[in-house]
Amino acid sequence: MINNFLRRMTVRRRIVGSFLILLIFLTLFVPLTITDHLSLTGRVEQLTNINARSNQLLLSALADILSSRVNLMRYADDLTPSVSDALNDISKAMNSIEEARSLVAEPEQKSAMANILAGLVSYNTLITNVQTARIENRQQDVTTLLSNSYQLEFDLEQQIRAVVNTNVTLVNETNRTTLAVAQQRLILLVTSYLIALLLAIAVAVLVQQSITRPVSELREGAETFQRERRATSIPSEGTDELSLLAQTINQITSELSQTLAGLEQRVAERTKALASVAEISTSISTVLETDELLQRVVDLAKERFDFYHAHIYVLNEVGDTLVLASGAGDVGRQMVAKKHSISLDREQSLVARAARGKKGVTINDVTATPDFLPNPLLPNTRSEMAVPMIAGERVVGVFDVQSEVVGRFTDADIAVQATLASQVASTLQNTRQYEISQRTAAQLSEALQIARLGNWEYDFKNDLFNFTDEFYAIFRTSAEKVGGYKISSAGYSTHFVHPDDAPLVGSEIQKVLDSKDRNFTTHLEHRIIFSDGEVGYISVNINVERDENGKITRWYGANQDITERKRLEEINRKRAIQQEALNVITQKIQNTTTIEEAMQIAAREMGHALGMKPTLVALDPGSLVDEPEGN
């Protein structure tokens, strides 16, 4: 897109434009940097002034409180007739605290100053009470009140000093935070400048490529035309000088291009057909259900190859009847619902002939074929092709397609659809094997659910497992052979746990011990050693109950033998790997253009599949030549 835009500009405009873009980038960064710096400086200055003023007021209040204490002591020593001076000092201190409290924004500071104000109110009350007690000549109360007032004054002094220290700490922390932000923004600024530099380099590269690439394309086009005498297609989307020159060269080679168009079209169709085969093969390689597999094949084949209709017949277990298993669209589903089938020995059936002969057959004009069997649901059929689906040496079904065009199918089409049918047959066989294994696994799972499991209890305090006969049956042993129904955790690990899985079992036990849940449940699967030395697998469910103090009150669970399930999973995994390898080999062979290349790839890939064993593939030349028919 960028290249096309540049090709619409002259070379001079490209160069000037790239420098203007760079200038704009650099110009925008300067005001942003200045604004950001002023903002940070203003924040620091404002917060510093507020805290300085607040500290000044707090220290003034502290001085007034100290003055009030002095005046109170003077009153107690009869050096002044009343406590009015002390009360005035308290009033000034409260005003200072109120003003300082209005300046700060932190909730903790406001709360601390509110506490100081409350203390000043109490202090004010104590001073008044001292005066009242002296007037009433209650000397003992005077002594007590003076002591309390001195103590309260000391506490207020400490609180004010703490708030001042907090303000100082806040200012220092703010300065550190601001410095960190400034550093981060400096990094961002440097990064931005680097990005601008990279953008400038990118623009320069794009401009350079927009000039050198067309020149290179012109040179390559001229060399190609001189060497191979075939049409070139030099890009000429723009309106610059180089694009006009490319258009001129393209016009010169247009006549030769028209001559080769027919051949290129046939090659493209062949490539498209093989690509469609590969796409369908890839799409069905992961399908594990037979009906879905076959339905996806016919739907994709009809869509990708633009067939009028496509359906698949599957050979029954007896091997004498082809049963319609899937069909494209509503028509195909109607035919499947009617359980349409064709006898394998039916002479007039194109599908049956393909299955009997194990090769593809076509009818390119059904109206000219007397024994053609028309289908009322497919009235527009004009040509038909049927190819057998062969897995190994066995026919498993027939892939049948139809077209509305007379003469639609060629030998090349038979080869392409035969390749697809072969891959579908192989995938179908694998899917059937998978379904069989799944049914077997389901039956095994159902049997395990019906059967009793091996239950157990664990005495955590005494480190003793309490097992049952069913539990020992899982391990193919008995309580008599092991030494009783109670066994320690170390004995269990020694007798039954596979050594390599001991850390796994230990980690799960540690999870139980670390958990604080009142009702804790966990599950694990690990290898075991049967009494005969064979290695198996078990599934273990662990349940732990705790009281309100976290003490374990019950530890119990159940074990189940899952050895067979694990073996089936391993078989399925290996089959999936084999199928994937087969698909890769098939696709590589399809991309070859000669028989020799195909045989070389087959031999090499088979050698890799067999573990680099020597592999020899022999081809009988006589089998490639049709024997002459007798008169």
Say if residue 416's pLDDT is above 80: yes
Residue 494, domain member (yes or no): yes
Residue 67, domain member (yes or no): yes
- Domain boundary among the residues 441, 459, 490 is at 441
Residue 267, domain member (yes or no): no
Residues 177 and 312 in one domain: no
Residue 227, domain member (yes or no): no
C-alpha radius of gyration, the chain, whole number: 46
Residues 464 and 554 in one domain: yes
Residues 437 and 484 in one domain: no
Say what the pLDDT of residue 448 is. 46
pLDDT in tens, 334-366: 888 888 889 988 888 889 989 999 899 998 998
Domain that holds residue 356: 273-441
Chain mean pLDDT for the chain: 80
pLDDT in tens, 418-435: 888 888 888 888 888 887
More confident residue, 196 or 166: 166
- Tell me the pLDDT band of 449, cut-offs 50, 70 and 90: very low
Q: Angle at Cα 389 formed by Cα 396 and Cα 370, nearest 5°?
A: 105
Look-up of token digits 């290898």: 527
CATH number of domain containing 121: 1.20.120.1730
Say if residue 606's pLDDT is above 60: yes
pLDDT in tens, 538-549: 888 899 999 999
- Domain count for the chain, please give it: 4
Output the CA torsion sign for 428, 432, 437, 442. positive
Residues 461 and 406 in one domain: no
Say what the pLDDT of residue 552 is. 92
Task: Give the mean model confidence (pLDDT) for residues 490-496.
Answer: 86
Say if residue 11's pLDDT is above 70: no
- Tell me the pLDDT band of 252, cut-offs 50, 70 and 90: confident
Residues 51 and 159 in one domain: yes
The CA-based dihedral angle spanning residues 607, 608, 611, 613, taken in that order and rounded to the nearest 10 degrees: 20
Say what the pLDDT of residue 617 is. 58
Residues 555 and 603 in one domain: no
Residues 287 and 436 in one domain: yes
pLDDT in tens, 260-273: 565 566 666 667 77
Residues 48 and 125 in one domain: yes
DSSP state of 266: H
Residues 308 and 412 in one domain: yes
What CA–CA distances, in Å, run from 387 to 292, 343, 421? 20, 16, 7
